[in-house]
Every structure is written in structure tokens, then in C-alpha cells.
Amino acid sequence: MALVCAAAVLCAADVRAAEGGILPPDRVADWSRAGVPGGIPTDRDHLLDVTQEPYNADNTGAADAQPAIMKAIADAAENDVVYLPAGTYRIDRGISVYGGKGRLTIRGDGQDRTIIRPTGPQSGGISVKPADGGDWWYARRLKLDIAGSHARGATELSVGDTTPLDAYPNGGVGQLCQISLKNDLRLPVMTTAGFEYARKYVTRIVGRTGTTVTISPPLLFDLPQELAPVLRPVGRYTEFVGIEDLTVDGVHCPSGNCLVNIGQAYGCWIRNVTVRNGERRLLSIDGSLHCEMRHCNLYGRKVEAQPNSGGLFLTMSTACLIEDNILSPATEMSGGATGNVLAYNFCDDVGVQGNLLCASLNANHGAHNSFNLFEGNFMPRFQSDGYHGSASHDTAFRNWFHGTSTRTTQYWICVTLNRFSRDYSLVGNVLGRRGFDWLREVEMEGFNYAKHFICSFGYPNMGNGWCNGRTAQPSQGRYWADWDPSVGTAIRGVLTERTSDETGVITLTSGTLTPGQSPMLRGGQTQSWVRIGRVEGDTAEVDARPWGARLPRVNTEVLLFPGAGGFQELDLDVAATTLRKGNYNFHDGGVPPDEALGDAVLPPSLYLDGKPDWFGDLAWPPFGPDTDFEDNTIPAQARYEEIGMQG
């Protein structure tokens, strides 16, 4: 049994980039296949009007329309459209398309014509995801050990025995699956809390034999057998569901959750949708494959920038296309986002915390993301923050990261690659803006926030310019004081006193702790964050009460992973492994000599074969050292400016 498999590793644009000397072959992926397979359907025209019999949804905002909309979703056949005519739809509970229901579209009459307004403490927005999560979240659900070593680009994986897949529909063929492996500490793949299997990606089983499975997309990174790679089927997922031509407005929704959620989905999309006025988060795509978000508008939170808040959250998803959107506030990627394309998006209203400019596009807030392409975006700052762990092999190509803000003059940096960022490629970008004084790179000893920098490499913290004055360079055998390359932490000890089930004293045998620190403790059956209290000599008080956890027995050996507050050295391998080529910056007023292209030529795109129709009369490619970038505009920016002119 088999499905059609698209398994090429390199597309034409990637081959040109590699052979033309722009990018090394081991840094490119098949970005041309990102998004909904075959494109977003255009032939869905059978409408179920929710305002008509038998649904009779209220579209004045006076009554709860959620039950009527949910009934229409339940009645929808394959390729039907659940149609919401112009009006305001109050929903007192969320609208959900659960696993097992798919191939339908929820469509309005246009942004700001059809408005869905979640209201009340039980309300939510629109959710396209299984009700109880995928099998890969549960330790006792099926996982298949991958036998032998498999190289990047492989599509057939040996798993010994595929009989367990018989429990899934169609013998598992068509199932989404997660492929992951133990952390490769040589790259390194690592997390500040010591979690294993941080490097992962989502693919799909498209065929099987008695001992092998065939997957698509193919492997984006090697699977050495010594890192114990595994394959986990999802069990429940939704496919080919679209959300189109409407607004979700959370002005009356107190929930801090996202107003639109796409999870464990295949080939789903959000098109021409506004999501606004969320409490913390606006839209998430999680654990999904080949999904798409285009021509959308995310803006407006009811609180200023703060931890765990933002606009788009792209987590543990593969081959998704985020194209031609207004993304304000920030975008955050985490948890194994791999092989995605974020292109031609516009961001202006980035967050400010403590008068410091925040990132507008954060490529890594949680380990381990890789092989993502960022192309043609216009935004203040690109960042890989390293807060929870590592990322690698991402490419920023032909973007304009201008580093400026109308809201603050502090902490202007165009590109920030923090600790644990490896093998990043910055090629053909425009960095900075005319009319300001720019320095090329942050000084090693820290910096004044009033200064403006083109780049920052290797600093340990996402929101400040401090380090402890020491350096780490694992490639040269110089490690962080908090790190041991064999187990991931240098902080070890024994629980020598248990003052209660949740509190006690640890005697350290190596490493250091500081009062107020919150490391991850592992020992016996315990895995929990703990709070460090008084520290005297080699003893430290620990408290697990804030996390409701029990400490292990007395005399248990423990490992303590320092968390985000550890690893405070300057990471020199960030700059050493970053490829910089053909970037125009406003410190040098051009491409600096050490980034000269030589005989290489920048292709117009790394995922498009030519100018897309939706660019209209605008210049393409819009940005790069070989363009009139100061005169150019991307479509999302043009829409943003038009909205601004209209008030």
C-alpha cells in the first residue's frame, strides 16, 4: 500500500543556490514544497449557510451562534463550505473541527465583514485539532525504533516490524508521524533543562512493507543509530480544513489561549483572515505538516509584550508556508519547527519591554528548530534567542531587517543570534536603515542599549546584552561551566536531607548553584523544576512546592540542569558557524568586503520559480544588495499602509 510521495531533497532553486556558491548543500532543503499540497483548493462552492434553516445562527451579536455553527460543521460533507454571511457571530464556546472531521472550509464574507467574537469565560476562537492530542505526546503510546542509520534525504526507514501499524486506519499509511532522536551533543542539540529528543520533525507515512515505512517529506537530517531514533504515529489528525475570509476578534474573550489553533493537521490553511485583540496569543500552528497561512492580518493584544505572548506561534511543524501576512505582534517558533518557509511578511508593531525593542521574528524559543527559510520579510529584528535550547541550519535570505522602532530608541539590533545557534546562513539581506548611526557588531564585553547594531552573536540572554565575561566554544573543547558534554550538565549532587516531601537539601559534588535559580532536577523517579534557596558552601536548599512535585529519597544522586538562567558565557561558535554573504548593511553603506559574493549570483528566491502573481506590479525580488530596496514594497506592507491611510 502506498500514497503518492514527493521525496526530492533539493528543488531547482535550492540546486541553483548550492551549485552557484550561495549556500553549502548541507544547509538547503526542498522549500519549494512548503504549504498545502497542490495549493489551496479553489473549487469548494457548496455552501451551508449557517443563518438559514436548519441552523438559524444569529449574526447580530445578540445571541450565541456557536451551537448553530457546530451543527453545520457536523452536517458538512467532504469539500462543503460552512458559510458565515456578513455579520457578527457571538460564540460562548469555541468552534472546533476535531480529528476525524476534515476536508471542509469555514468561510465568511471577508475580513471585517464576517466577525466571530468569542465572549465569556468559556469562550474560545476556532480550533482545528484533535480533542485529546496525538499519540506522540504520550510515553506509553506506539513508537517504532528506527533500525540502522539513515542519511539526510532518505525516504525509506527500517523499523523491524510494522505490524503495530495495523491498529491505525489504512494500516498507518497516511498517518502523520514524528521522527525524533536523542540529542547530538556534538552539534550541539541541547536544552537548558536537559530534555532529550529535542530534535524532531513531522512527516507522513506514505507506504509500508513488513519491515519498512516510506515517508514524505524525506529526512532533513541524519539519523545515526547511536542516537536511538524513533518514529511515533500521531493517531488522530485533521486534513484539508480551511478558514477563510473572516475576522476573529477577542476583545470580549478573557482567555489567554490563541484565538485560532491549528494542531496535528495536514494540508490545512488560514487565508484572508484577521485575528486581533487576543489576551496573550493570537494564532498557533502546532504539530502539523504542509499547512499554510497567507494574506492574513494579526494585530492587537490587550496586554503589552510579555513572556509567552505574541502573534503567530509555529511549533513542532514541518513544511508549512507562512506567506504574505501582516504579522504584528511578534512571531515565535519552537519545539522542532523544521523545513518551514516564512516569506514576504510585514511586521511593524513589535513589542517593547522595559523600553527595550523586542524581536519581531524569533526563529528559536524552544529547541531544536532547523532548516527553516526566511525570505523577503520586512521587519525590525530577526532573532534566535536560545532561551530553552539550540537551533541550527536556518537561512535568512533577501529580507530587510531594519532594526528600528518609532516606540523606543533602545536595544536596536537587526539580527540577534544568541547562544546555541549553529550553522545559520545570512545571505543577501538588507540590515539597518538610513538616517541612523550603526555599529557592525556588538562588543564582546556587552553594550550600551542606546547604541544601534547590525548584528549580535553568541550572547546568552534573549533580552539583554550581559554575559559573565567568559567564553565557551565547544568546537574547540571549551565548554560552558554549567555543561558536561556526556550528560548535558555539570551540576551534580546528592539529596542529603529531606525536610518534607517537597523540600530538602542537596550536597553538590560538582558545579554551582545560586539562590533564586530554578533548575530542572532529575533523580530517582523525580523530574521537576525546583527553586534554589540558601546556598552555603557545597549545600543548597531546594523547593519543589511551586511545581507540586515530590523530591526523591534521601541519598539519591541528582542532576540539576540550570535552566534558562545558566550557560552565561559568550558562545563563540555562533559567529564561527554563521555564514554571512552578500548582506548590505547601513554601517558600511554596502556589502562589506568579507561578505562579497565574488562570482556567485543571488537567485531571486530559494523557493519560488518566478515572480508570484500576487506581487502585481511591485518589484520582485524586493530586497537585496542587487535591488533598489529603498524604493520597494512588499504586498503585505502595501496593505498595511493602505489600512493606515484609511484610519
Q: What is the pLDDT of residues 479-524, one digit of tens each?
A: 999 999 888 899 999 999 999 999 999 999 999 999 999 999 999 9
The pLDDT of residue 9 is 46
Write a three-state SS string for 410-476. ECEEEEEECCCEECCEEECCEECCCCCCCEEECCCCCCCCCCEEEEEECCCCCCCCCCCCCEEEHHH
User: Worst-scoring range by mean pLDDT, 220-229, 252-261, 448-457, 525-534?
Assistant: 252-261
Q: In the predicted model, is pLDDT for residue 304 greater than 70?
A: no
- Residue pLDDT, tens place only, 4-32: 333 444 455 555 566 467 899 999 999 99
Listed in sequence order, the DSSP H helices in 514-595 are: 572-577
Q: Which residues contact 140 (CB under 8 A, 6 or more apart)?
A: none
Under the banding of pLDDT at 50, 70 and 90, the label for residue 137 is confident
Q: Average per-residue pLDDT in the chain? A: 92
Q: Give the confidence band of 352 by pLDDT, cuts at 50, 70, 90.
A: confident
Coil vs helix vs strand at 614: helix
Pairing of strands 430-431, 400-401: parallel
CATH class of 492-561: mainly beta
Taking the C-alpha atoms of residue 76 and residue 46, their distance in angstroms, rounded to an integer, is 10
Q: What is the DSSP letter of 243?
A: E
pLDDT tens string 551-600: 999 999 999 999 999 999 999 999 999 999 999 999 999 999 999 999 99
pLDDT-derived band at 2 (thresholds 50, 70, 90) equals: very low
pLDDT band (50, 70, 90) for residue 131: confident
Q: Are 391 and 422 in contact (CB under 8 A)?
A: yes
Alpha carbons 391 and 416: distance in angstroms, whole number: 13
CATH 2.40.10 residue window(s) in the chain? 492-561
- In this structure, the strands spanning 356-357 and 352-353 are antiparallel
293 half-sphere exposure, CB direction, 13 A CA radius: 34
Whole-angstrom Cα distance, residue 144 to residue 159?
Answer: 6
DSSP string, 136-167: GG-TTS--EEPPS-B-TT--EEE-S--GGGGG
Best CA proximity match to 187, nearest among 456, 424, 461: 424
| Structure confidence by residue, pLDDT tens digits, 178-191 | 999 999 988 999 99
> Whole-angstrom Cα distance, residue 28 to residue 119?
45
Distances (CA, A) of 478 to 384, 401, 484, 572, 596: 22, 32, 11, 10, 31
CB distance 198 to 192 below 8 Å: no
pLDDT of residue 20: 66
624 by DSSP, 3-state: which?
A: coil
Q: 10 Å Cβ neighbour count for 27?
A: 21
Of the listed ranges 83-97, 135-149, 181-195, the least confidently predicted one is: 135-149
- Other beta carbons less than 10 A from residue 465's beta carbon: 21
Residues 611-627 as b or e (16 or more Cβ within 10 Å = b): eeeebeeeebbbbbbbb
- What pLDDT, on a 0 to 100 scale, did the predictor assign at position 8? 43
Cα distance between residue 329 and residue 358, in whole Å: 10
Do 456 and 415 contact (CB within 8 A), yes or no? yes
Dihedral over alpha carbons 168, 172, 175, 180 (to 10 degrees)? 100
| pLDDT at 1 > cutoff 60 | no
State the amino acid at position 241 in one-letter form. V
pLDDT per position as a tens digit, 376-405:
999 999 999 999 999 999 999 999 999 999
